[in-house]
Amino acid sequence: MADFVGLSRTSVATAYTRMRQRGLIRTGRSYVAVLDMAALEALAEGGDPGGGPGGD
């Protein structure tokens, strides 16, 4: 995934961790399941999907 989007593995792992903690996604060995599409879209558009001030 990191190579595909041109990011480091560390930055992708950090983003996945934050999205899992917020309940936006669930990940497994070979999948990513979207649990809250509206919140994920808000995050992608630069909004705050309920993470509070500053995101964390």
Distances from the Cα of 24 to the Cαs of 6, 17, 27, 50, 53, in angstroms? Answer: 22, 10, 10, 10, 17
Structure tokens at 42: 């808000």
Cβ atoms < 10 Å from Cβ of 22? 20
- With contact defined as beta carbons under 8 Å apart, do 35 and 26 qualify? yes
One DSSP character per residue, 1-13 reads -HHHHT--HHHHH
Q: What is the pTM of this model?
A: 0.73
pLDDT value, residue 50: 62
Per-position pLDDT tens, the chain of length 56: 888 889 999 999 999 999 999 999 999 999 999 999 999 999 989 877 665 544 44
pLDDT value, residue 1: 82
